[in-house]
Amino acid sequence: MTFFTIVVRGLLRRPVRTGLTLVGISIGIAAVVALVGISRGFEASWATGMKVRGTDIVVSNMGNALAPKPFSSEVRDRIGNLPEVASACSIYADLTSVEDASMMVVSAREWGGFSWQNLKLISGRMPHDAMEPAVVLGQTAAEMLKKKIGDPLQLETKELTVTGIVDGGAMVENGSVILSLALFQNITGNEGRINVIDIRATPGMSEDEVKQLCNKIDAIAPEAKAMVAGEHLGNSQAFRFISAMSWGTSLLAVIVGVLGVMNTMLMTVFERKQEICILLAIGWKPGRVIRMILWESALLGFLGGIVGVIIGTIGVKVLETLPAIHGMLEPDFNAELMGVAVVLSVVVGVLSGLYPAWRSSRLTPSLAMQG
Amino acid sequence: MTQPLPDSPAAASPALVFEARGLKKQYDDGCVQALRGVNFRITQGEFVVIIGPSGCGKTTLLQMLGALDVPSAGILHYRDKSIADLPDPSGYRAREIGIIFQAFHLLPTFTAVENVQMPMFETDRPAAMRTERAVELLTSVGLEHRLDHFPSKLSGGEKQRVAIARSLANGPSVLLADEPTGNLDSENAKHILELIIRLRREKNMTLVLVTHDLNIARLASRVIKMKDGLIVADEQTPPPAA
Ligand SMILES: Nc1ncnc2c1ncn2[C@@H]1O[C@H](COP(=O)(O)OP(=O)(O)O)[C@@H](O)[C@H]1O
Ligand SMILES: [Mg+2]
């Protein structure tokens, strides 16, 4: 028998209680894994979206809203004239309800701009020109809106025709309704206004040079902020808010887990008072009793962490298959997140065990003689 | 694991193990005077029985000897060191003394062989040797066929045998027993007592045994009678016939 056997036996003496505590802590950890995984996945897939469009720099004004603030399309010409800019593409991007779908990315792109190039037709055709009343749908968007080629699509007051379904190579692209910028400006009465400029830097520029270019753009275009593609989402307040919410919710779930473990460990110390006194009476050092309790709670945390990671991962996979969400989640469950979750859970276990362990070490061995 | 005995000043007489002078213990801020000034000396290898009516302070005295609690006043030495001031009371309890309780006090979620190993965690004996020694000890108390039984599956006599084996885990030089046969029928009590006395003789341990059974007192080399927290008689007894 090893010390570890004693620790395990301590948890097994009340299997139901240990099991329930495990469920409690693992739900907390599952929440951490799911929420953080989803929000990080969101960030990552946004970055992939930029990459497939070949965008190096995104110029936009990410305020408090989910969609960026519009500015004059004349900014694009100012930036386009910079020698380091290979090409620029004006965009009007909006998050809005389209027919039955409550949240859709509508991406209106400068006709002929490079941001059309990554779209591969799966079926149908691209619009003939900038003003044809036509849209193309990313394949997920088509599924969500239940549209096929030739179907009408209501956008604001105008009825457009779905002429093509495309594979955009990234989740964000596939979930978008894509149309010509000029057409969109005309429909929405936003002539001369855009809210995003995708920029391709001259090929061969280093990361530092791209960053310097951002500064240069900021100097000539104070209406918006230039950011290296992929990093810009983290600067959006809306995204930061969502991020903070997911961490906050996770934290709450973890605190509930802490209280569960602490309660269990206090109960176990109380229940085993006499046994702990016996151990002290036959020569165990108080430190060994403390270690026994702490190892028990750490093991509880470790097992809860493993189970939590599994529940969280499976939970999000199930969520992904729901029709309402299908194609909108691209969670990022990497080994690092799972490792952090398990470590967090062990830390939670140890912290929750501190007070019960201290209590147990204060018991006097003479109590063993009584009863 | 017995520590080498310090050289006794009087080489001829056996070494002094315990010495109490004016030993007092009170509980509840002095409302209960469990020990009211006790004096005695116990030397190496003695078999001392402490006898007296219920509530006279026998268990309290044994707790002081075992460093399970501290005296309120007076002096209590183990081999010339104050027990209350031991730098490592756990180490003292683990290695110097073995304790046997009336209620056995085995850990219910551990088997016989595991219970016996518990005190060995305070030594640097590796796991395999712990098991080996526990099996040896259980064999010496006649329980080689009950190694993997949980306490709930053992009879009272068997439980006390496991407890005795556990008390010997680290080879103590002193055995403290608090009414070890109090929860046993007379047949089992007789066997347990014989076992304790045999082990004491084999290992030359000092034995302090608390009882209120006069028949047991006749087996001891010395009987201390207590009443109301005081020693009222302290007599050497002639060795039993045979
Ligand atoms: N922890 C304690 N708190 C208060 N009183 C105690 C405690 N332990 C023992 N006593 C009291 O001290 C006296 C001696 O008790 P004890 O040593 O157990 O007697 P014995 O073992 O001879 O029956 C009794 O009056 C008992 O009630
Ligand atoms: Mg008693």
A369 contacts on B by Cβ (under 8 Å): 59, 62-63, 68, 101, 178
Q: pLDDT at residue A174 above 50?
A: yes
Q: Are residues A131 and A222 in the same domain?
A: yes
Q: Which of A228, A249, A265 is the last residue of a domain?
A: A228
Q: pLDDT at residue B1 above 50?
A: no
Q: pLDDT at residue A187 above 60?
A: yes
Residue A198 lies in a domain: yes
Q: Which of A170, A196, A228 is the last residue of a domain?
A: A228
Closest atom of ligand 1 to B226 CA is 22
Interface of A with B (CB under 8 A): 1-3, 5-6, 9-10, 12-13, 274-275, 278-286, 288, 364-366, 368-369, 371
Q: Are residues A224 and A244 in the same domain?
A: no
Which residues does a 6 A CB cutoff place in the pocket of ligand 1? B 27-28, 32, 34, 54-60
What does the pLDDT read at residue B10? Answer: 47
Q: Are residues A345 and A245 in the same domain?
A: yes
Q: Are residues A124 and A220 in the same domain?
A: yes
Q: Are residues A250 and A207 in the same domain?
A: no
Q: Which of B139, B165, B143, B169 is nearest to B154 (CA)?
A: B143
Decide which of A102 and B59 is more confident: B59
| Confidence grade of residue A235 (pLDDT, cut at 50, 70, 90) | low
User: Which of B32, B60, B109 should one mutate to test binding to chain A, selecting the residue with the greatest count of A CBs within 10 A?
Assistant: B109
What mean pLDDT value characterizes chain A? 88
Name the most confidently modeled range: A265-269, B125-129, B148-152, B185-189: B148-152
Task: Express each pLDDT in A264-319 by its tens digit.
Answer: 888 888 899 999 999 999 999 999 999 999 999 999 999 999 999 999 999 988 88
Q: Are residues A168 and A292 in the same domain?
A: no
Phi and psi torsions of A38, nearest 5°:
-70, -45
Residue closest by Cα to atom 7 of ligand 1: B27
Q: Are residues A81 and A181 in the same domain?
A: yes
Q: Closest-CA residue in chain A for B112?
A: A1
Checking DSSP bridges between strand B81-82 and strand B73-78, what pairing results, if any?
Answer: antiparallel
Q: pLDDT at residue A13 above 60?
A: yes
Residue A52 corresponds to which amino acid?
A: V
Residues B121, A284: C-beta atoms closer than 8 Å: yes
Residues A280, B94: C-beta atoms closer than 8 Å: no
Q: Are residues A79 and A118 in the same domain?
A: yes
Please tell me the distance from the alpha carbon of residue A227 to that of residue A60, in angstroms, as a whole number: 8
Which CA distances in Å does A74 have to A80, A81, A240, A317, B239?
Answer: 10, 11, 30, 45, 117
Q: How far is the alpha carbon of B215 from chain A, nearest alpha carbon, in Å?
A: 24
Residue A49 lies in a domain: no
| Confidence grade of residue A327 (pLDDT, cut at 50, 70, 90) | low
Q: Which of B20, B178, B40, B162 is nearest to B97 (CA)?
A: B178
Which residues between 21 and 60 in chain B have a beta carbon less than 8 angstroms from any beta carbon of chain A?
59
Residue A155 lies in a domain: yes
Q: Which of A193, A228, A263 is the last residue of a domain?
A: A228
**Given A1, A10, A366, which is nearest B63 (Cβ)?**
A366
Q: pLDDT at residue B241 above 70?
A: no
Q: Are residues A316 and A212 in the same domain?
A: no
| Confidence grade of residue A36 (pLDDT, cut at 50, 70, 90) | confident
Q: pLDDT at residue A259 above 70?
A: yes
Closest atom of ligand 1 to A366 CA is 1
Residue closest by Cα to atom 11 of ligand 1: B34
Enter the ipTM: 0.92
| Confidence grade of residue B71 (pLDDT, cut at 50, 70, 90) | very high
Ion ligand 2: protein residues whose beta carbon lies under 5 Å:
B 59
Residue A230 corresponds to which amino acid?
A: G
Residue A234 lies in a domain: no
Under DSSP, the state recorded for A235 is: G
Distance from the CA of B119 to the center of ligand 2, in angstroms?
A: 23
Task: Express each pLDDT in B220-235 by its tens digit.
Answer: 999 999 999 999 999 9
Residues B107, A278: C-beta atoms closer than 8 Å: yes
What does the pLDDT read at residue A236? Answer: 67
What does the pLDDT read at residue B68? Answer: 94
What does the pLDDT read at residue A177? Answer: 94
Which CA distances in Å does A7 have to A20, A34, A138, A259, A292?
Answer: 18, 31, 55, 20, 6
State pTM to two decimals. Answer: 0.80
Distance from the CA of B21 to the center of ligand 1, in angstroms?
A: 20
Q: Closest-CA residue in chain A for B65?
A: A366
Q: Are residues A158 and A132 in the same domain?
A: yes
Residue A50 lies in a domain: no
Q: Which of B226, B206, B170 is nearest to B56 (CA)?
A: B226
Residue B77: both structure tokens together: 């030495």
**Given B59, B110, B166, which is nearest A282 (Cβ)?**
B166
What does the pLDDT read at residue A326? Answer: 64
Q: How many CB pairs under 8 A join A and B?
A: 76
Please tell me the distance from the alpha carbon of residue A235 to that of residue A218, in angstroms, as a whole number: 15
Give me the mean pLDDT over the B97-110 stretch: 95
The residue range of the domain holding A169 is 55-228
Please tell me the distance from the alpha carbon of residue B150 to that of residue B230, in angstroms, as a whole number: 40
Q: Are residues A110 and A224 in the same domain?
A: yes
Task: Express each pLDDT in A144-155 by its tens digit.
Answer: 899 999 999 999
A281 contacts on B by Cβ (under 8 Å): 66, 68, 93, 99, 105
Looking at all shown ligands, the one closest to residue B227's CA atom is: 1
Cβ atoms of B176 and B97 closer than 8 Å: yes
Pocket perturbation via mutation, ligand 1, pick of B23, B29, B59, B230 by most ligand atoms within 8 A of CB: B59
| Confidence grade of residue A38 (pLDDT, cut at 50, 70, 90) | confident
Q: pLDDT at residue B57 above 50?
A: yes
Residue closest by Cα to atom 3 of ligand 1: B27
**Given B93, B108, B178, which is nearest A282 (Cβ)?**
B93
Decide which of A328 and A156 is more confident: A156
Please tell me the distance from the alpha carbon of residue B3 to that of residue B81, in angstroms, as a whole number: 14
Pocket perturbation via mutation, ligand 1, pick of B27, B49, B54 by most ligand atoms within 8 A of CB: B27
Residue closest by Cα to atom 4 of ligand 1: B27
Task: State how many domains chain A has.
Answer: 2
